[in-house]
Chain A
Amino acid sequence: MHPILTEVTLFGVTRPIGGYGAAVTLGLLVTAIVLGRAAHRARLDVGATIATIGYATMAGFAGAFLLFAVVEALRTGDPLAVRDHGGLVFYGAVPTSLLAVWLAARSFALPWLRILDLGVPGLALGHALGRIGCFLGGCCFGAPWDGPWAALATHPLAASAHPSVPRHPVQLYESLGLLAIAAFFTFRRPRIVGDGGRALGYLAAYAVLRLGIEQLRDDAVRGLFAGLSTSTLIALASLAVALFFGHRVRAARRARSAA
């Protein structure tokens, strides 16, 4: 764990640079670069695609923080519980980013489902890097475990070091799973790109991965409702949505090929 990667000194003031922030920044850059290259290859308007990425990033951060604030308010009973600590929930970014991509693509006359399909490998890769940031920062940690590859956080700033016991490195499990998803969508050439099939596939694959990971996580900040964490409930809902719309996409493909 490296909650603090390094320190910078500006005008005599020394401040730390966090491992989480560095990894999330790198993940966002990788996502944007991969999507920008894919849009350039697909002969889409690169400028409009970059602007769409900007809208999606802004909306994604807002949604991720909003869901964190709602979960914290429900968990603690204090509506302003996030005033003295921050956090992000990935699943909060999904609906707001989708809405932003849809609105921006409409305004720039871009095919929004095609943008989503092209962005899947970069999104999975950037998300994997972000999870490495979680491991560095010591958040989103796993249940206590005494196995051979258990991770022991000792840095006082890492939440997983309270108490400092060996735990499942669930952040690395999730990162590896996301890398596998990214590799699958990168190297498997789809017959059809642009009808949202790849984006739905990513949504379903990540929901399955997250459902497994949630069984090994232990941080209380996720919030528990009826014995299930917030992300478990959202993963179940997103899996249902992905299966429903995936069935419709498949039916539309069959109808097109029959015609």
Chain B
Amino acid sequence: MGIGSITLGALSLLCALGGVVLSMVPFLGAMLAFLSPVLALMGIILGGVALSRARAEGNSEGLAITGLVTSIVAFVPSLLVALTCGLCSSCWTGLVLNPPDAGPPGAIFPDAGLTPYPYPSSVPASSPPAVPPPGTWAPGAPPPAAPPPPAAPAAGLPASPEPNSVPSPAPAPAPGGLPPPPLPPGPNVRPAP
């Protein structure tokens, strides 16, 4: 049983490694990642039984303790792999099985909130979350404002090019339209004090 425990611990480590490396392979990555902690737990059970029998019969406990330690050491990374790469790989397998329609990024989260936000919020539910810069939002303050929407196309310019038209590299600004925003300073330009 001690040898079985050592073998299972080593196999668990190998499966965890395979689960990490092959997590983008559908089915195989998820299978390896989820099999790894199961093997480690089986190794722990075998090691515990071997330790119990060795103590009861007065035999040497070395093999049993080695198997137990190997399996416990294998269990930690294997559970990490299962709960990270395994979940990711199962999501990937699901996407391969059922390619989703083009939707908002939030649609991949099945456990989105039940309650609509009761406070004035400018973050639409279907858009990716706006990341406020550190220090700009304090608890108790209203949520940060979303960036302004892109400017509407100037009058006289089509919103999208016609199907058979030749696209121009840079359309000239319409009279009365806003000038283009200034480019950000380069790395060697020092801002004025």
Contacts and interface: CB of A to CB of B under 8 A. Distances in A.
Nearest to B38: A58
Given A108-B52, A221-B110, A17 B84 contact: yes
Contacts of A156: 105, 128-129
B98 to A, nearest CB: 6
Interface in A149-178: 149-150, 152-156, 159-167
Contacts of B140: 146-148
B174 interface: no
A238 interface: no
Nearest to B80: A21
B20 interface: yes
Contact of B111 (A61, A221, A224): A221
A41 to B, nearest CB: 16
B45 A164 contact: no
A240 B42 CA distance: 35
Interface residues of A, number: 66
Nearest to A221: B111
Contacts of A219: 111-114
Nearest to A161: B129
A163 B124 contact: yes
Nearest to A151: B139
A244 B29 CA distance: 46
A218 B37 CA distance: 31
Contacts of B139: 147-150, 166
B: contact size bracket: 35 or more
A57 B56 CA distance: 25
Interface string B75-102: 0100110111111001101110110000
A150 B137 CA distance: 12
Nearest to A20: B83
B47 interface: yes
A63 to B, nearest CB: 14
A83 B94 contact: yes
B4 interface: no
B154 interface: no
Nearest to B76: A25
B20 to A, nearest CB: 5
A8 B77 CA distance: 11
B28 interface: no
A141 B71 CA distance: 34
Given A13-B20, A85-B90, 20 more contacts: A10-B20, A16-B84, A18-B80, A21-B82, A25-B83, A50-B44, A51-B45, A52-B48, A57-B41, A86-B87, A87-B111, A153-B129, A154-B131, A156-B105, A162-B106, A162-B109, A163-B129, A220-B110, A221-B111, A224-B114
Counting from the closest, the 8 A-B pairs by CB-CB distance are: A84-B94, A21-B83, A47-B51, A164-B129, A51-B48, A221-B111, A47-B52, A50-B48
Interface of A: 8, 10-11, 13, 15-18, 20-22, 24-25, 28-29, 45-55, 57-58, 61, 72, 76, 81, 83-87, 108, 139, 141, 143-144, 146-150, 152-156, 159-167, 218-221, 224
